[in-house]
Amino acid sequence: MRLDLRDVRSPSHAVERAFPASALGSDEAFTVAAPVALTLDVRKDGDKYSLLGRLSTTVRRECCRCLEPFDVPTTVDIDVRYLPHRVNTGEGEYEIADEDLSIAFYRDDEIDLGGLVREQLHLAAPMKPLCEDGCRGLCPVCGANRNREACACDTAWRDPRFEALRSFRRTTGDEGPARKV
Ligand SMILES: [Zn+2]
Ligand SMILES: [Zn+2]
């Protein structure tokens, strides 16, 4: 899963790779569920390289409402510049803002394509993945998946101001002896 930069001899170098899903492993955010196809045009400019292209695969995510896993066919356009690692640690030759996500570093004449794929899938990940827009989530009372079953729990919204009044009644009212003040 490495790109040997010594193989990049022309200004524009085509790369096509396929990785098995197992090569990418899983992550707290997602699991790669299908082989990854990676197509790149590698452009060399001195010791800097631009990688342009796309990757496609299927990613398994967990729905943020119902917690069920679901598969998302995913295609990500890639546009990343790689600089030699030393310029990041040297005399401040380049000032690179942390938030500039299109800059990466290579060392030992190699680019870690697996790291590139993982990073790109992270950037493409939604903050709140949903199995479907209308996912009804889990019942907050019994935990049933409301996409699959209708439970009989009372989940009607209660005005919190009345909730405060109710608990006041519970502590002072007829459900037990009044508290001594
Ligand atoms: Zn869901
Ligand atoms: Zn319920």
∠ CA 5-52-57, nearest 5°, is 100
Q: What is the pLDDT of residues 125-163, one digit of tens each?
A: 888 999 999 999 999 999 999 999 999 898 776 666 666
Range of the domain at 43: 2-124
Other residues' Cβ atoms within 10 Å of the Cβ of residue 130: 15
pLDDT at 89 over 60: no
Q: How many helices (H) and strands (E) does the chain have?
A: 4, 8
d(C-alpha 16, C-alpha 55), whole Å:
10
CA of 131, nearest ligand number? 1
* Ligand 1 center from residue 94 Cα (angstroms): 44
Mean pLDDT value of segment 89-116: 74
Share of the chain above pLDDT 70, in %: 77
CA of 128, nearest ligand number? 1
Does some domain include residue 50?
yes
Does some domain include residue 141?
no
Does some domain include residue 139?
no
Report pLDDT for 9. 87
CA of 136, nearest ligand number? 1
Other residues' Cβ atoms within 10 Å of the Cβ of residue 162: 9
Does some domain include residue 180?
no
More confident residue, 174 or 123: 123
Does some domain include residue 76?
yes
What residues form DSSP beta bridges with 81?
50, 103
More confident residue, 171 or 53: 53
Report the number of distinct structural domains present in the chain. 1
Does some domain include residue 117?
yes
* Ligand 2 center from residue 64 Cα (angstroms): 18
Report pLDDT for 43. 95
What pTM value is reported for the model? 0.72
Contact criterion met (CB below 8 Å) for 1 and 19: yes
- Least Cα distance to 121 among 30, 12, 13, 17 occurs for 30
Q: Would you give the end-to-end CA distance of the chain in angstroms?
A: 71
